[in-house]
Amino acid sequence: MSFYKGRWKLVFIIVLLLISVVMLSISIFNPVQETSLSRKVALESIAPLEGVVNKTSARIAGVWKRYIFLVNLGDKNRELVTENAALSKKINEYREIYLEYWRLRKLVGLKEKTDYPTVAAGVVARKQSPVFETILIDKGSADGIRVGLPVLAAEGILGKIIEASWHVSKVLLLVDYNSNIDTLIQRSRARGILQGLGDKGCNLKYVRRTEDVNVGDVVVTSGLAGVFPKGLVLGTVYSVEKKETGLFQEIRVSPAVDVTRLEDVLVVLKDKGSQG
């Protein structure tokens, strides 16, 4: 019973609103006449309804504007992300060019100090094994490279060529156990043989106990054995031990060249007049 009573109230309100709208519409054609009772009722009835409609319309418009704003913001954000990625790529390319420039500049400086023709080459691979530590470079016999030639990096001696094809050569690194280089302690001129110890660097052998060798001394090539030009840097002494017995000191040397970060090298063509 209360349900039907509620429905009749709703119908009554709707009818009242319709009457108010009709009366208001009729009164529009007579705007100069004195406001009648029916018009007053219509105005009083329709005002709240228009307020609700206007507020609802405003809310819908606001939601729509925010939606459009978010869509545009999303598109703009995607554009900025794409642009940022492109700029980051460019920055990285310029950084690589800059670093390559400085590496090559060091090699050019080293080349100018070398009395022999040289060939610049790039490292294309590194091989580690229990027997050999070698790298491959992108120059070969077609560029004047042959077995036995010394190979330099900007910081000093790297190793020597042990194989050469037309356009690729293999370099035996000075840290390889099979590498033996005749050397001098630059300061005291003490002589020894530098042997590779792999990851541990190098061992300077056959230096007599009476020789003056200190931590920090620079080790250079002696020029003997006909492989490496004299006076090229090999590394720095980081450990010296004189045992109570024995003829020789135990000396460890840190190579001047970090063989794990090689990218560009210089091959020395020892015969003057060879192409370089």
Three-state DSSP at 233 gives strand
Q: What is the CATH number of the domain that holds 196?
A: 2.40.10.350
Query: d(Cα 156, Cα 232) in Å, to the nearest integer?
Result: 6
Contact at 8 Å (CB) between 151 and 267? yes
Cβ count near 112 (within 10 Å): 8
Residues 18 and 88 placed together within one structural domain of the fold:
yes
Q: Are strands 118-128 and 264-268 parallel, antiparallel or unpaired?
A: antiparallel
Residues 42 and 7 placed together within one structural domain of the fold:
yes
Residues 108 and 155 placed together within one structural domain of the fold:
no
Contact at 8 Å (CB) between 119 and 266? yes
Residue with tokens 């990285």: 92
Both tokens of 19, joined, read 């009457």
Residues 29 and 144 placed together within one structural domain of the fold:
no
Domain boundary (113, 145, 160) is at 113
Nearest Cα residue to 240 out of 168, 164, 188, 162: 188
Residue with tokens 């349900």: 3
Residues 70 and 148 placed together within one structural domain of the fold:
no
Query: d(Cα 273, Cα 55) in Å, to the nearest integer?
Result: 94
Both tokens of 41, joined, read 């009722």
Residues 214 and 271 placed together within one structural domain of the fold:
no
Residues 99 and 27 placed together within one structural domain of the fold:
yes
**What's the confidence (pLDDT) of residue 271?**
56
Residues 6 and 70 placed together within one structural domain of the fold:
yes
Angle between helices 2-28 and 37-113 (to 10 degrees): 90
Q: What is the CATH number of the domain that holds 162?
A: 2.40.10.340
Both tokens of 72, joined, read 């545009």
Residues 133 and 265 placed together within one structural domain of the fold:
yes
Query: d(Cα 87, Cα 208) in Å, to the nearest integer?
Result: 60
Cβ-proximal residues to 185 (8 Å cutoff; 6+ apart), any chain: 191, 192, 207, 211, 212, 213, 217, 218, 219, 237
Q: CA 271: distance to chain centroid?
A: 40
List beta partners, residue 202. 196, 253
Domain boundary (113, 131, 160) is at 113
Residues 24 and 59 placed together within one structural domain of the fold:
yes
Residues 264 and 210 placed together within one structural domain of the fold:
no
pLDDT tens for the 276 residues of the chain, in order: 555 555 565 565 666 566 655 655 555 555 545 556 655 655 565 656 555 556 666 677 677 777 777 777 777 777 777 777 776 766 666 665 655 555 555 666 666 666 778 888 888 888 766 666 899 999 999 999 999 999 988 888 899 999 999 999 999 999 999 999 999 999 999 999 999 998 889 999 999 999 999 999 999 999 887 788 888 899 999 999 988 788 999 999 999 998 888 888 889 887 544 433
Domains held by the chain: number: 3
Domain boundary (62, 86, 113) is at 113
Both tokens of 164, joined, read 């050469």
**What's the confidence (pLDDT) of residue 59?**
73
DSSP state of 146: -
Q: In terms of residues, how long is the chain?
A: 276
Query: d(Cα 206, Cα 202) in Å, to the nearest integer?
Result: 13
Residues 15 and 107 placed together within one structural domain of the fold:
yes
Q: Structural domain of residue 123, as residue ranges?
A: 117-174+260-276
Nearest Cα residue to 176 out of 215, 129, 132: 132
CA terminus-to-terminus distance, the chain: 111
**What's the confidence (pLDDT) of residue 35?**
55
